[in-house]
């Protein structure tokens, strides 16, 4: 009888909202800030934990909430397949009736109905859900921060690894480059070093090998020092050339050159300015002598003007011209060659040009305040720059030049002994890349005296240098 009465029980129709399930899901997510299923799960947990403790609902409200949970879990009630209820199971019949009253409500609608009912009946539910939402956001932030930290740490590790690999690669590349340079230098000098070692330790192969190794290391160090000096000199020449480009052009146009190697008078130009009267020439020479005599022998030479220097690229043509004119000589290894060029009465300026084969050479220009007994250009060779200056017995008038004679750094020269002619520095001795281009220059006479063109090869232990040069007088 009980089952039959249940089967004949009338079910109140339930109106299904027009809003679709997808619309409900999106609406609830915007409202609560969490997915609908997450909100329902937290609501169901809140209800089971707080019911009878923090919240007290009526019997009808509890039936309604239970009906929403059954509809969400199992869908609409199927009376025919539902298990039978006992005669005295009043609560079971009431719950089944509340469930049956939901009709064909979807699971999404049932979850939304449960949440809305719980929110309406229990004011504590919303703060509870907001706390959960905050925890979820904090957890996301922590996870995001952790992910970013891990990513940053990984990037840092990658950068450290790449930098380490780069340093190792650079170090390896530098070591390989050093080894290639050493191999090339050793291939060029091995025969010379071997011959020298055999002369020093005849028959002692171990000592020969040690000496060769020492000479090779010394040669490599000299090569590296030369590269550094050449770089500094190139930078200095570049700046100088940029600043004085216009002046150099004018100077080169004004220098109408005539060679003086065979006859110093043949180098004089026949321009109109040289054809001055004999009286003017005598006045000029007298003024020059008076200026030289008034100079103190220990003066620093501040009255000497700076020389002008430039370079040209027609080195092949210049070498052929210099060779044809007799301006070619060899500067032996460890030697210094000094070309003495007396000033000329009818000239106001000296010009020079020089170049070498294959290797560079040191060059510097000095002015000796002395009256030369001859007007010819002379060449003197010495094993060192000091010997050339202090021990040269060719001339009756000796002079001393002191200072730094290292062609790598140059140095200012002074008069040491008052009984010797005073010498002023005009161009310091530096190594010039004259094997790559022609080096040229000019200087205005400071007075009557002798120009000393010094070509320094004392820094070279093994190589002699072939020098091509020209010297001119100009008005």
Span 203-218, pLDDT tens digits: 899 998 999 989 988 8
| 280-332 confidence digits (pLDDT tens) | 445 544 554 554 445 444 344 456 889 999 999 999 999 999 999 889 999 99
323 Cβ contact list (under 8 Å, min separation 6)? 468
Say whether pLDDT at 139 is over 80. yes
Integer Cα distance of 428 and 454 in angstroms? 10
pLDDT of residue 51: 80
Question: Which pLDDT band, with edges at 50, 70 and 90, does 373 fall under?
Answer: confident
pLDDT of residue 61: 87
Integer Cα distance of 247 and 352 in angstroms? 17
Say whether pLDDT at 1 is over 70. no
Residue with tokens 């923090």: 54
The beta strands (E) that lie in 348-456 are given as 349-356, 361-368, 378-382, 401-402, 414-415, 423-432, 438-444, 450-456
Say whether pLDDT at 16 is over 60. no
Most confident of 292-296, 354-358, 403-407: 354-358
DSSP assignment of 56-109 equals ---HHHHHHHHHHHHHHHH-S--TTTSPPPPTT-HHHHHHHHHHHHTTT--HHH
DSSP assignment of 169-225 equals HHHHHHHHHHHHHHHHHHHHHHHHHHHHHHHHSTT-HHHHHHHHHHHHHHHHHHHHH
Is pLDDT larger for residue 61 or for residue 280?
A: 61
Q: Which token pair is 387?
A: 């010997």
Q: How far is CA 134 from the centre of its chain?
A: 51
Q: Which token pair is 14?
A: 């339930």
Integer Cα distance of 198 and 211 in angstroms? 10
pLDDT of residue 47: 86
320 Cβ contact list (under 8 Å, min separation 6)? none
Integer Cα distance of 405 and 426 in angstroms? 14
Say whether pLDDT at 3 is over 60. no
| 420-431 confidence digits (pLDDT tens) | 789 999 999 999
Paired with 432 in beta bridges are 361
Q: What is Dmax (Cα atoms) for the chain?
A: 162
Please give the average per-residue pLDDT across 175-196, as a whole number: 88
Question: Which pLDDT band, with edges at 50, 70 and 90, does 362 fall under?
Answer: very high
Integer Cα distance of 177 and 171 in angstroms? 10
Q: How far is CA 172 from the centre of its chain?
A: 18
Please give the average per-residue pLDDT across 251-274, as a whole number: 45
Is pLDDT larger for residue 417 or for residue 248?
A: 248
Paired with 159 in beta bridges are none
Q: How far is CA 464 from the centre of its chain?
A: 37
Integer Cα distance of 48 and 342 in angstroms? 120
- Mean pLDDT over all residues of the chain? 78
Residue with tokens 């220098």: 255
307 Cβ contact list (under 8 Å, min separation 6)? 365, 426, 427, 441, 442, 443
DSSP one-letter code for 401:
E
pLDDT of residue 431: 93
- CA dist 109 → 98, 202, 328 (Å): 15, 110, 110
| 222-236 confidence digits (pLDDT tens) | 888 888 888 887 777
pLDDT of residue 254: 56
In this structure, of 167-181, 191-205, 228-242, 349-363, the range with the lowest mean pLDDT score is 228-242
Q: How far is CA 138 from the centre of its chain?
A: 46
């Amino acid at each position: 009888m009980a089952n039959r009465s249940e089967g004949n029980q009338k079910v109140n129709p339930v109106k299904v909202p027009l809003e679709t399930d997808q619309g409900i899901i999106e609406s609830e997510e915007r409202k609560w800030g969490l997915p609908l299923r997450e909100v329902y799960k937290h609501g169901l947990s809140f209800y089971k934990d707080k019911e009878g403790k923090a919240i007290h609902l009526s019997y009808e409200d509890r039936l309604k909430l239970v009906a929403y949970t059954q509809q969400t879990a199992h869908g609409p009630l199927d009376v025919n397949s539902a298990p039978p209820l006992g005669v005295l199971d009043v609560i079971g019949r009431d719950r089944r009736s509340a469930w049956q009253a939901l009709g064909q409500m979807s699971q999404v609608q049932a979850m939304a109905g449960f949440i809305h009912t719980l929110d309406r009946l229990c004011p504590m539910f919303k703060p509870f859900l907001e706390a959960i939402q905050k925890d979820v956001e904090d957890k996301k932030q922590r996870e995001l921060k952790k992910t970013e930290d891990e990513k940053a740490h990984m990037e840092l590790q990658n950068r450290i690894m790449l930098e380490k690999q780069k340093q190792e690669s650079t170090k390896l590349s530098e070591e390989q480059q050093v080894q290639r340079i050493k191999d090339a230098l050793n291939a060029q000098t091995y025969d010379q070093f071997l011959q020298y070692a055999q002369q020093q330790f005849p028959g002692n192969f171990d000592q020969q090998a040690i000496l060769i190794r020492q000479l090779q290391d010394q040669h490599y160090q000299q090569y590296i020092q030369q590269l550094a000096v050449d770089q500094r000199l190139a930078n200095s020449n570049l700046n100088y050339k940029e600043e004085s480009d216009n002046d150099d052009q004018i100077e080169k146009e004004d220098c109408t050159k005539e060679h003086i190697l065979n006859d110093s008078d043949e180098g004089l130009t026949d321009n109109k300015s040289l054809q001055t009267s004999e009286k003017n020439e005598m006045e000029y020479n007298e003024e020059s002598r008076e200026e030289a005599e008034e100079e103190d022998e220990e003066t620093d030479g501040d009255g000497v003007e700076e020389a002008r220097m430039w370079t040209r690229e027609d080195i092949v043509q210049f070498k052929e011209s210099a060779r044809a004119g007799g301006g070619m000589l060899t500067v032996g290894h460890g030697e210094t060659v000094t070309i003495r060029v007396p000033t000329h009465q009818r000239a106001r300026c000296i010009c020079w040009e020089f170049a070498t084969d294959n290797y560079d050479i040191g060059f510097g220009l000095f002015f000796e305040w002395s009256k030369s007994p001859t007007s010819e250009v002379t060449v003197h060779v010495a094993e060192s720059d000091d010997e050339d200056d202090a021990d040269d017995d060719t001339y009756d008038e000796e002079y001393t030049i002191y200072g730094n004679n290292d062609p790598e750094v140059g140095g200012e020269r002074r008069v040491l002994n008052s009984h010797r002619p005073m010498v002023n520095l005009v161009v310091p001795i530096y190594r010039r890349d004259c094997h790559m281009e022609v080096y040229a220059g000019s200087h205005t006479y400071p007075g009557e005296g002798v120009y000393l063109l010094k070509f320094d090869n004392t820094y070279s232990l093994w190589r002699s240098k072939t020098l091509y040069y020209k010297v001119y007088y100009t008005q």
